[in-house]
Amino acid sequence: MSRYRGPRVRIIRRLGALPGLTNKTPQLKTNSINQSISNKKISQYRIRLEEKQKLRFHYGITERQLLNYVRIARKAKGSTGEVLLQLLEMRLDNVIFRLGMAPTIPGARQLVNHKHILVNDRIVNIPSYRCKPEDSITIKDRQKSQAIISKNLNLYQKYKTPNHLTYNFLKKKGLVNQILDRESIGLKINELLVVEYYSRQA
């Protein structure tokens, strides 16, 4: 299953706020059709599926990628759900988004693909690159790169940078301080339902 490229507002209308996918807010319709749908009993399968879809659309990954992350999380020590969220949050495209260097995760992915981003002073053009504590994220020393990201920082740094990341405006450098804790996840999600969804698929 490929990465979603369709209308984003339709997705957040169905699944709720997904800041990584879009910063738009949908206009809620309060007509009788929507009310009748909401009154229907929702199955447990649908609840698990929607939590899984939230992760997929928020982080902008394919079904296969998410399944691979679940498999890695199962083999790691600790809570599978928490490890899964940590793996997704430490992706380079997500770290750039969370630092305020891009408006959305697809926007961050584009910056990485176009070689605007350096990790530890080396160009990295792989959005799924897994960042580690003490990694430094900087902007390529090129006028176009600096201009794009400075504009984004001015617009989007109003969102609180999570505790595991810091951004130094003077040095124009982001830093990964540590592996994030559960409270720093910028998404309302029940990760246990996602793990349960895949355990029932196996």
- The residues near 157 (Cβ < 8 Å, ≥ 6 apart) are 100, 167
Q: Is residue 3 part of a domain?
A: no
- Residues 135-150, mean pLDDT to the nearest whole number: 86
Residue 30: predicted pLDDT: 46
Task: Tell me 176's DSSP state.
Answer: E
> Do 96 and 163 share a domain, yes or no?
yes
Distance (Å, rounded) from C-alpha 141 to C-alpha 138?
A: 9
> Do 57 and 73 share a domain, yes or no?
yes
> Do 70 and 82 share a domain, yes or no?
yes
Q: Is residue 193 part of a domain?
A: yes
Res. 168 pLDDT band, cuts 50 70 90: confident
> Do 37 and 72 share a domain, yes or no?
yes
Segment 52-87, tens digit of pLDDT: 999 998 899 999 999 999 999 999 988 999 999 999
- Report how far apart, in Å, the C-alpha atoms of 5 and of each of 35, 67, 156 are: 28, 20, 23
Residue 127 has pLDDT above 90, yes or no: yes
**Per the structure, how many domains does the chain have?**
2
> Do 75 and 97 share a domain, yes or no?
no
Distance (Å, rounded) from C-alpha 78 to C-alpha 65?
A: 21
Segment 147-167, tens digit of pLDDT: 888 887 777 665 678 888 998
> Do 129 and 57 share a domain, yes or no?
no
Q: Is residue 2 part of a domain?
A: no
User: Model pTM?
Assistant: 0.83
Whole-number average pLDDT of the chain: 83
CATH of the domain at 169: 3.10.290.10
Residue 34 has pLDDT above 80, yes or no: no
Residue range of the domain that includes 64: 8-87+187-201
Q: Is residue 117 part of a domain?
A: yes
Q: Is residue 115 part of a domain?
A: yes
Handedness of CA 2, 7, 9, 11 (dihedral sign): negative
| Residue of 91, 92, 95 whose CA lies nearest to 68 | 91
Q: Is residue 1 part of a domain?
A: no
